Chains A and B, each alone.
Chain A
Amino acid sequence: MLKYILNRLFHSVIVMFVISFIVFFIMFKAGDPVQLLLPPDATQQDVIEMRHALGIDQSFIKQYEAFLKNVAKGNLGNSFVYGQPALNVVFERLPATLELSVLAMIFSILFGIPLGIIASIKPKAWYSKVIMFLSLSGISVPIFWTGMILVLVFSVLLGWLPSSGRGEVYLFTSAFTWDGIKHLIMPVLTLSFFQLALILRLTRTGMMEVMMQDYIKLATAKGVPRRVVVYYHALKNSLIPLVTVIGIQFGQLVAFTIVTETIFAWPGTGKLIIDSIQNLDRPIVVAYLLIISFIFVAINFVVDVLYTFIDPRVRV
């Protein structure tokens, strides 16, 4: 097990190294941030001084070398725009994004799996058909549309929910205050729709396949109650592919809250990364992508460990 963890850690370091190189290179080629940072009436002398101060007047190799040296000291450089350490800027925004993605994922799992099971047990019943129709819309409707419709209905027409911002924040999250919760509802719903529909459909397909297996018939034949057959014997088997997908989707959620954060003016990393790319703020972009790839690696690790609990045939 320890060997496995060290192995995975080593892999993730390589992955992050490669990512940093690619991002660094793309941002180097993308353009000169100084033009965007200085006022239009800045002199040539100002430009040269600023380029020197940011260290971007040197060759690509020199700059990357300096970056790696700093990384070894745990420093990803200062943001060109904010002037603060890039890591701090990203970490400041990360809780907002994480709370959105975690809550959206929990919501999707809590509703997706049971609804999927219900739709799989009696596929021809009217409620199964309604569930499947709604899930199809969940998959097909783009989230910026869902988000705007929610705003239109609940903020503009009914005036029940605030349309933007995080509200009152306590202990890094809005989920502990009533005002915060009101701000959370619509972004979380918007972010969940697709995930919920996906999890629902995967659960249904998996359950329908498993319910046809001999061991399910045998469980019934030995007198195990129906609900135990469905929620234990069958569900445990259909969870196996589901856990993989949920893991990948969670990474996606964290990385791509951009649209949702833009609609609801949510002060998370999604909005930060878009702004930073526009400003060619290289340290922030690199720091953000490194953190995101680390989250992906961590989730994959958790999924692998979870696997060994669900499926005895898998051993780490």
Chain B
Amino acid sequence: MALLEVKNLKTYFFTRSGVIKSVDGTSFSIEKGEILGIVGESGAGKSITGFSILGLIDPPGKIVEGEINFDGRDLVKLSQDELQKIRGNEISIIFQDPQTSLNPVISIGKQLMETILYHRKGVSKKEAYNSCVEILKTVGLPAAEKRMKSYPHQLSGGMKQRVVIAMALLNNPKLLIADEPTTALDVTIQAQILYLMKKLSKDFHSALILITHDIAVVSQLCDKIAVMYAGRIVEYGSKEDVIFNPLHPYTKGLIECLPKLNDDKKRLYQIPGIMPSLLGLPEGCYFKDRCEFADEQCDVYPPRQEIDKRIVFCHKVK
């Protein structure tokens, strides 16, 4: 049985200007220790998918339909109190911007220790402190003891993200969700952090959902890839299949956008147009206006197709 199985998840935001279908019928699953990459443009619903799993959707947002089966429980049906026991304990999340992820007026040590103390009853402060120092060393933060007393403003962006990663791993979670963990970091730090995350998720036997807009990142780290577009998954399969043999025109476009070493073209490829507004989605396939293969067949939303263990939503793929 899969560790996490998301079935037909629908997370809508009920705003004054209308219903925003941020996540609209998404299904995927992840096995123990596996790394799944969710790729897509800004606003494709990647982050909202991650937040939905942890029940972190604030009003006017709401999970309107679907199941999130995690380790034998449906997270959608759990109360906030029950979710609180899972958050930071069995499922952890790492946010995009380390600059804003840590509370500026609470010391690093306190912020780390509370993650342990609220979940593991009977653990003494001393034990919690030692675990925190230990994990700071594991994520490669120099002078761990000194850092426990530091406040976030005394650390660089890369160091803060290491602290956030440490915080996520403290309780040895079964699932780690990383929401664009390197987007806000320096390019030189990005590779370090990504390598660290991959290594740690293997060491800690945690499954990892890596949410990113950078297909190059997922092609290096992930076992499986889900490509999201306008709130829906358009292609979903193993990394090898999706990267080296993309079927959906959107995935093809994304990969085409990457600069290649042995390429002497002056300009990079770009997919024409922009993603449609979630408030005014077109009839039929959401990608048709930007797709070079689109014809009248695409005025109906494409059905789910399973081709060689891969799922794709496109009329033009046979």
Q: Which residues of A contact B (CB under 8 A)?
A: 213-226, 228, 232-233, 236-237, 240, 310-313
Q: Which of B81-89, B130-138, B237-245, B302-310 contacts A (4 or more CB under 8 A)?
A: B81-89
In the assembled complex, which residues on chain B have CB atoms less than 8 Å from the CB atom of A236? 103, 105-106
B11 at the interface (CB under 8 A from A): no
Q: Nearest A residue to B112 by beta-carbon distance?
A: A222
Interface residues on B, range: 20 to 34
Whether the Cβ atoms of B101 and A237 lie closer than 8 Å is no
Is B12 in the interface zone, CB < 8 Å from A?
no
Chain B 106-147 near chain A by CB (<8 Å), digits 1 or 0: 110000001100110000000000000000000000000000
How far apart sit A215 and B115, CA to CA, in the bound complex (Å)? 13
Residues of B within 8 A of A311 (CB): 104-105
Instruction: Give the contact stretch, choosing among B25-33, B65-73, B91-99.
Output: B91-99
B56 within 8 A of A: yes
Contact of B104 among A223, A232, A237 (CB under 8 A): A237
Given A237-B103, A237-B105: A218 and B95 interface contact (C-beta under 8 Å): yes
Nearest chain A residue, comparing its CB with the CB of B117: A224
Identify the B interface with A (CB < 8 A).
54, 56, 80, 84-89, 92-93, 95, 97, 100-107, 114-115, 118-119, 151, 153, 164, 167-168
Q: Known contacts A214-B97, A224-B88; can you find 13 more A-B pairs with CB under 8 A?
A: A215-B100, A215-B103, A218-B102, A221-B56, A221-B88, A221-B92, A222-B114, A222-B168, A223-B85, A223-B115, A224-B118, A225-B118, A312-B105
Q: How far is the CA of A316 from the CA of B101 in the complex (A)?
A: 26
With both beta carbons as reference points, the residue of chain A lying nearest to B153 in the complex is identified as A313
Known: A236-B105, A312-B105. A218 touches B93 (CB 8 A): yes
A220 to B105, CA, bound (A): 17
- Nearest CB on B from A306, distance (A): 13
Pull 16 A–B residue pairs with CB atoms less than 8 Å apart, ordered by A: A214-B95, A214-B101, A215-B100, A215-B101, A215-B104, A216-B103, A218-B95, A219-B103, A222-B167, A222-B168, A223-B85, A226-B80, A228-B114, A232-B106, A237-B104, A240-B105
Distance A216 CA – B101 CA, assembled complex (angstroms): 8
* Residue from the list B56, B92, B100, B164 in contact with A220, Cβ < 8 A: B56
Contacts of A222 in B (CB 8 A): 87-88, 92, 114-115, 167-168
The distance from the CB of A219 to the nearest CB of chain B, in whole angstroms, is 7
| Pair B114/A224 contact, Cβ less than 8 Å | yes
Least Cβ–Cβ distance between B100 and chain A, in angstroms: 4
Bound Cα distance from A311 to B151, whole angstroms: 10
Q: Which 3 A-B pairs have the closest CB atoms?
A: A222-B88, A223-B88, A214-B100
Interface centre among B80, B101, B103, B106 (most CB of A within 10 A): B103
CA distance in complex: A213, B89 (Å): 22
CA distance A311 to B152 in the complex (A): 11
Q: Which residues on the B side are within 8 Å of A217 (C-beta)?
A: 56, 95
Q: Is the CB of A223 within 8 A of B56?
A: no
CA distance A226 to B85 in the complex (A): 12
Task: Return A33 CB to nearest CB of chain B, in Å.
Answer: 54
For residue A308, give the distance in angstroms from its CB to the closest CB of chain B: 11
In the complex, what residues of B have CB within 8 A of residue A221's CB? 54, 56, 87-88, 92-93
Rounded to whole angstroms, the CA-CA distance of A279 and B2 in the bound complex is: 88
A169: min CB distance to chain B, Å: 42
Docked pose: A225 CA to B102 CA in angstroms: 17
Q: Nearest Cβ in chain A — how far from B270, in angstroms?
A: 30
Q: How far, in angstroms, from A142 to B85 measured CA to CA in the complex?
A: 50
Q: Tell which of A213, A218, A225 touches B164, judged by Cβ atoms closer than 8 Å.
A: A218
Contacts of A240 in B (CB 8 A): 105
Query: Once bound together, how far apart are the Cα atoms of A253 and B127, in whole Å?
Result: 49
Quote the shortest CB–CB distance from A212 to chain B (angstroms): 9
**Chain B residues whose C-beta falls within 8 Å of the C-beta of A224 in the assembled complex:** 84, 88, 114-115, 118
User: Does B107 lie within 8 Å of A223, measured CB to CB?
Assistant: no
Q: Which residue of chain A lies nearest to B83 when distances are taken between CB atoms in the complex?
A: A223
Shortest CB–CB separation between residue A38 and chain B, in angstroms? 62
C-alpha gap A240/B31 in the complex (Å): 45
Nearest chain A CB to B206 CB, angstrom units: 15
A226 to B83: give the CA distance in the assembly, Å: 11
Min distance, Cβ A138 to any Cβ of chain B, angstroms: 28
**Nearest neighbor of B177 in chain A, beta-carbon distance:** A221
Partner of A225, one of B84, B101, B107, B153: B84
Chain B residues with CB below 8 A from A313, complex form: 104, 151, 153
Chain A min CB distance to B170 (Å)? 8
Interface centre among A213, A214, A225, A226 (most CB of B within 10 A): A214
Residues in A neighbouring B88, C-beta threshold 8 A: 221-224
Residue in A closest to B85 when the chains form the complex, CB atoms = A223
CA distance A223 to B117 in the complex (A): 10
CA distance A311 to B104 in the complex (A): 8
Q: Is the CB of A223 within 8 A of B87?
A: yes
Chain B residue nearest to A232 (CB atoms) is B106
Name the CB-closest residue of B to A233.
Answer: B103
Instruction: Check if B85 sits within 8 Å of A312, measured CB to CB.
Output: no
Complex CA gap A218/B167 in Å reads 10
- Which listed residue (A215, A220, A226, A228) contacts B102, Cβ 8 A? A215
In Å, the complex CA distance between A106 and B306 comes to 68
Measured CB to CB, the nearest residue on chain B to A222 is B88
A215 nearest CB neighbor, chain B only: B103
Closest residue on chain B to residue A234 by CB atoms: B103
Whether A310 contacts B105 by the Cβ 8 Å rule is yes
The answer to whether A312 touches B118, judged by C-beta atoms less than 8 angstroms apart, is no
A213-B100, A214-B100, A217-B95 as given contacts; A223 in contact with B86, CB under 8 Å:
yes
> Chain B: which residue is nearest A309 at the CB level?
B105
Chain B: minimal CB distance from A205 (Å): 18
CA distance A240 to B106 in the complex (A): 13
Q: Which residue of B lies closest to A219 (CB)?
A: B103
How distant is the Cα of A200 from the Cα of B118 in the complex, in angstroms? 30
